[in-house]
A and B are shown apart, each in its own frame.
Chain A
Amino acid sequence: MNTALAITTFLLTNGPSLIQAGMDVAALWDEYAALGKKASAEGRDLSAEEFHSFMDKCLGTDESLDGIIAKAKADIAAGA
C-alpha cells in the first residue's frame, strides 16, 4: 500500500482518538492545578487521598498493560 495512503487511512481512522488522548493528558495537568487551587481556596493542603487519586489517573492500571503485553506475546508466539 502507498505510504501516504496508509498514513491518511491511519489518521482518518485514529485521528479523533489521538486528539482525544492528547487532550486527556493535558486535562490531567489542568486537573492537578484545579485540585491545588480548590484546596488552597479552602485554606488547606492537598490531602494525601486527593494526591493519590490524581496519581491513579496518571498511572492507569497494571491490568491494562498486562493485556497489551499478553496480546503482543501471543502475536510473537504466532510468528508475527
Chain B
Amino acid sequence: MKRIMALAVIVGLVFGIAGCRLPPLAGETLPQTARQAVAAVGVSYATVRTAFETYADLPRCGPPPAPPVCSDPRWVVKIGENLKAARVSIRLAESAVSLLPEATPAAAMPPETVKALNAAKEAVSGAENSVSAAKSGGAP
C-alpha cells in the first residue's frame, strides 16, 4: 500500500507539473484548426512519454525487500510498446492533416482525417491508461 501511495505521489507530481500548461482541449475557448488538434495530441503524447520515462527510470521492483518506489519491467515493456504504436498513429494523423490547408478548422476535417486523429487520440489515451495502471501496482 505504501508503495502504491509513493508511486501515486511521484506520477501525480509529473502529471501535475506537466499538466499545468497542457494544450487546450477540444471545445474550450480557443478555436482549433485541424493542425492544432494534431499538435495537441502530439503534446499529450510528450506528456505521457515524460511520465513513462520517469517511471522507467525508477529502480526495478523485485522480491522483498523491493524498493518502495519502483518500476515493473513488464509494465515498462508494455507502455513502451504502446507509445511506439501511438507514435505511428500520430504520424498517420499528421500526414492526413498535412494534406489540408493550414487553417482548416478541426470541425471541417474530412471523415478519414477525423478517423486518423481519433485513432491517434485513442492510442495516446491507451498509453496514458497503462501508465495509470502501472502506478496502481497491478500486474500488466
Contact = CB atoms under 8 A, between A and B. Distances in A.
A1 B3 CA distance: 11
A51 B98 contact: yes
A59 B73 contact: no
A34 interface: no
Nearest to A79: B62
Contacts of A23: 17
Assign chain B's interface to a size class: 35 or more
Contact of A59 (B6, B80, B90, B101): B90
Given A65-B84, A68-B56, A68-B76, A59 B2 contact: no
A45 B77 contact: no
Interface residues of A, number: 42
B17 A21 contact: yes
A46 B102 contact: yes
State the main secondary structure of chain A at its contact with B.
helix
A65 B54 contact: no
Interface string B53-90: 11011101110010111000110110011011001001
A29 B21 CA distance: 8
Contacts of B16: 22
A75 B60 contact: yes
B5 interface: yes
Interface of B: 2-3, 5-6, 9-10, 13-14, 16-18, 20-23, 35-36, 38-39, 42-43, 45-47, 49-50, 52-54, 56-58, 60-62, 65, 67-69, 73-74, 76-77, 80-81, 83-84, 87, 90-91, 94, 98, 101-103
